A and B are shown apart, each in its own frame.
Chain A
Amino acid sequence: MDNNTAIQLVNITKSFGAVKANENVSFDIRKHEILALLGENGSGKTTVMNMLAGIYYPDEGEIFVNGKQVSIKDPKDAFDLGIGMIHQHYKLIDVFTALENIVLGLKPGDNNDMASARTRVNDICSRYGFEMDLDMKVYDMTVSQKQTLEIIKVLYRGADILILDEPTAVLTPQETERLFTIIRNMRNDGKAIVIITHKLNEVLEISDRVTILRKGHFIGTVNTKETNEKELTEMMVGEKITLDINRDLIEEKHLRLQVRNLTVINNENKKVVDDVSFDLYSGEILGIAGISGSGQKELLEAIMGLQKSEEGSSVIYYSTAHGVHELVGLSTREIISYGLHLAFVPEDRLGMGLVGNMGMTDNVMLKRYRKGKGPFLHRAQPQQMAIKIKDELEVDTPSLDYPVRRLSGGNVQKVLVGREINNKPTVLMTAYAVRGLDINTSYAIYNLLNEQKKHGVAVVYVGEDLDVLLALSDRILVLCNGKVNGILDGRSAHKEEVGMLMTNLKKGDQHE
């Protein structure tokens, strides 16, 4: 151990019930360095860092900070040791200003009055290159600004070791660049930085060393300069896999959905979907890009009859089997009972798409439980379907009655997508279909979507990873503030172009 080692973890083990989240994990974090902690979802990255932040306490193992063995019982212990973690879900008070959030919880005295706090915060900002209006209220901030505020807050409390949990998940490419610049500044200033991530290109761009975890185990640490995307993937997944997404061009296309002037106003009287018009064809994947909360969710829900559309909206559904229908004005129940084959994989899998406490059979039955005569349920057919889905998609579940909420994220999504595909849809809409899934399951889902496209299904793919959107989609529709800010060809579009459209409304569209 040399003077540069900030934290050393030795044989850390942590389990939750039967689940071993970490088993004998050992690695070190150094000053003047950016360490990427790489692993798939469920590999235990966040758990091990939460033990440094005082959220969890390890079952076994030792932690050394600056050479001394320590016991981190709560977040205060972590702060005293100079460890600060920026979680995925920000912990800010909405109605307070940036500065108020920074000093919140600190004892008065020690130069923590507002005036001297302001000076010190300004020092931090100019030192690392933050741009922040200290009097802005949190509810007026973008996601990126909130993240900046969280980082400043941690630095203000004197952290020398910063842990960032999936910091780029919610950022546009431009915002990511800005964040990386700041991270480099902090490293050059001598801080130790850990970035938890599963995005390989970012690992290669920003980090100095990479530590890889897989299924709770420590796999290895490599120097970023001496590795490549392929090697990292193999270490992360444990086998060789190809990272190519197929994109066939289907020549035969039929109009399936014609969306015109679709407008949705939410409870807070805000136009969340604003005059959206587009066409959707069979045999294509239409990608929908946008920073989170740009109206993606509401758009899909409005088509499904789950959100009320405003007057003047029109969604016309064309299908060979069922003729032409105007969907605006129909309830979800009517759409289902007319036999219209609209499949929808919502963003909130267990909160909207499935019932967590029910097993596969009862979940497969969800949209078809009314079928069959009489007041009682007919479980025989759904059970057959559940068996079919379990076999075809290789769902790993102890039994068809086992509550789906206890399955892993990937298996939950397989049940949901399996059910929606099973009904032979004409239109298949998916929202964040691979969020939180491991690489293998993600590619299984991409393949399923591609297969559906080949069968002539019109597929909508709302996504957040621009690389995937660009590789998978035939066309990309970019939403910005609920408006369509451009529809690009998936094969020729550039990432930067999409990123710009996500954040900057085109001129001429800006005035109401």
Chain B
Amino acid sequence: MNKQPFIRIRKKDDRPFWQKLVIKFAFIVLALLIAALFINSVTKLNPIKVYVSMFKGAFSTKRRIWITVRDTCLLLSIAVGLTPAFRMKFWNTGAEGQILVGGLCSAALMIYLGNKIPSALLLVLMFIGSAIAGALWGLRPAYFKAKYNTNETLFTLMMNYVGIQLIEFFVDIWDKKQSHSVGIINGDTNAGWFPALFGQQYLLNVLLVAVITIAITIYLTYSKHGYEVTVTGESESTARYSGVNVPKVIIRTMLLSGALCGLAGFTEVAGISHTISVKTSGGRGFTAIIVAWLAKLNPLVMIIYSFLIVFLNKGAVQIASDFNLNEYASNIITGILLFCILASEFMTNYEIVFRHKEEQ
């Protein structure tokens, strides 16, 4: 009976910044070591070769670097889009649906107005249209939350499936070759495609996302609206006490969040794939939730985590093709890394105490 428990967990939230950095770095090294052990024991490959291959996946050619940057921006724009809602503690799990309807609206405008109006005007219309479509997708759950306090997590999640069905419906209408796909839209005229700037195909994507990220950072930190969002998220009672119109803020913020996710759909359709399908969102609406949380809802930190996740994905694909592994093996490596990043979050705030040795 007189034995201390073997390990105990103790809160330690007063570590200096450099210590936190060291802990995070140590955990990434640890992740690489665990993954190396895994690689070696399962595939008998040299882990260093595998890591080099991973790195190649993201950086080996100029084009690959651009694609990595492009995908980082896309993921970032969704994470930033989720941020206003999350700051309000409105758990928007419906980014997928919001991206899809934004992309759908862009695609529809490309198809119906494609060669009838100038491409620049078309792009502006697609920008506005996809934002409105995403906002409307966010409006319904927000309205019911504000009015009847329904659970937004389930509501936004279910809206995703409505979005998917809607895409299926329109793909069927637009699919002229019975191939279950719309194909490249306006492949001949490039109407409604992002133009190359300074010879760089994806520069516009980067600029658009950069502007959005900076604008949202300023909006949340320095504007009266942003202040209302934070207060409402912290405590609805405090918000009411300070005279905030809570339902209005919920609806307004969710409209914004939905619109930003809709814009990500626009970027995907007009700036990357030039087509629409149920795979347009590609699960990024969920991945972005992880990005947003790892960055503790700080848009600028999200840049790092978006990049990290895109890098891991590219690397995983590359490993799979270089070593004839299936993608599950490389996903496990990604999993180990993410797991260790999460663990480092915990360890920056807590410490583990082992049983004292007998003092005598």
Contact = CB atoms under 8 A, between A and B. Distances in A.
A376 B235 contact: no
A47 B125 CA distance: 63
B17 to A, nearest CB: 15
Contacts of A332: 240-243
Interface residues of B, number: 30
Given A376-B222, A377-B224, A333 B4 contact: no
Contacts of B4: 57, 71
A184 interface: no
A291 B266 CA distance: 60
Contacts of B240: 306, 332
B237 A377 contact: no
A62 B2 CA distance: 9
Interface string B1-36: 111110010111110000000000000000000000
B346 interface: no
Contacts of A306: 240-241
Contacts of A357: 230, 234
Interface string A363-379: 00111011000011100
B325 to A, nearest CB: 44
B11 A376 contact: no
B231 A355 contact: yes
B223 interface: yes
Contacts of B8: 57
Interface in B217-234: 222-225, 227-228, 230-231, 234
B243 A331 contact: yes
A350 B231 CA distance: 11
B234 A71 contact: no
B14 A377 contact: no
B104 to A, nearest CB: 31
Contact of B227 (A69, A77, A354, A362): A362
Contacts of B227: 362, 365, 369, 377
A295 B243 CA distance: 22
Interface of B is mostly: mixed
Contacts of B5: 57, 71, 73
A250 interface: no
A82 interface: no
A346 interface: yes
A387 interface: no
Given A354-B238, A355-B234, A17 B14 contact: yes
B245 interface: yes
B360 to A, nearest CB: 13
Given A57-B4, A332-B243, A355 B224 contact: no
Contacts of A350: 235
A317 interface: no
B241 A377 contact: no
Contacts of A355: 230-231, 234-235, 238
B238 A375 contact: no
B243 A333 contact: yes
Nearest to B3: A71
Given A346-B241, A351-B235, A358 B230 contact: yes
Contact of A337 (B1, B224, B243): B243
Nearest to B231: A355
B235 A18 contact: no
Contacts of B244: 333
Nearest to B235: A351
The residue in A70, A304, A332, A350 that gathers the most chain B C-beta atoms within 10 A of its C-beta is A332
Interface residues of A, number: 41
Nearest to A18: B14
Given A57-B8, A355-B238, A367-B243, A377 B223 contact: yes
A479 to B, nearest CB: 21
A357 B232 CA distance: 12
A336 B11 contact: no
Interface string B223-267: 111011011001101101111110000000000000000000000
Given A357-B234, A367-B243, A17 B1 contact: no
A352 B238 CA distance: 4
A352 B230 CA distance: 14
A19 B10 CA distance: 12
Interface in A44-59: 57, 59
A356 interface: yes
A71 B243 contact: no
B290 to A, nearest CB: 22
Contacts of A16: 10-11
The residue in A57, A68, A350, A355 that gathers the most chain B C-beta atoms within 10 A of its C-beta is A355
A353 interface: yes
A70 B2 contact: yes
A344 interface: yes
Nearest to B350: A17
A65 to B, nearest CB: 10
A348 interface: yes
The residue in B4, B10, B224 that gathers the most chain A C-beta atoms within 10 A of its C-beta is B224
B12 A17 contact: yes
B226 to A, nearest CB: 8
A309 to B, nearest CB: 15
Contacts of A369: 224, 227-228, 242
Nearest to B222: A376
Interface string A65-80: 0001111010001000
Given A77-B1, A337-B243, A356 B223 contact: no
Contact of B1 (A70, A331, A352, A377): A70
Contact of B13 (A17, A77, A367): A17
Interface string A1-42: 000000000000001111000000000000000000000000
B231 to A, nearest CB: 6
A348 B242 CA distance: 14
24 contacts: A15-B10, A57-B5, A59-B10, A69-B2, A77-B1, A331-B243, A332-B241, A333-B243, A337-B243, A350-B235, A354-B238, A355-B230, A358-B234, A365-B227, A366-B231, A366-B242, A367-B242, A370-B243, A375-B223, A375-B224, A375-B225, A376-B224, A377-B223, A377-B224
Interface of A: 15-18, 57, 59, 68-71, 73, 77, 304, 306, 331-333, 335-337, 344, 346, 348, 350-358, 362, 365-367, 369-370, 375-377
Given A356-B234, A356-B235, 14 more contacts: A59-B353, A70-B2, A71-B5, A337-B243, A348-B237, A352-B238, A352-B241, A353-B241, A355-B231, A355-B234, A355-B238, A366-B242, A369-B228, A377-B222
Interface of B: 1-5, 8, 10-14, 222-225, 227-228, 230-231, 234-235, 237-238, 240-245, 353
* 5 A-B pairs with the lowest CB-CB distances in the bound complex, closest first: A333-B243, A352-B237, A18-B14, A366-B242, A336-B243
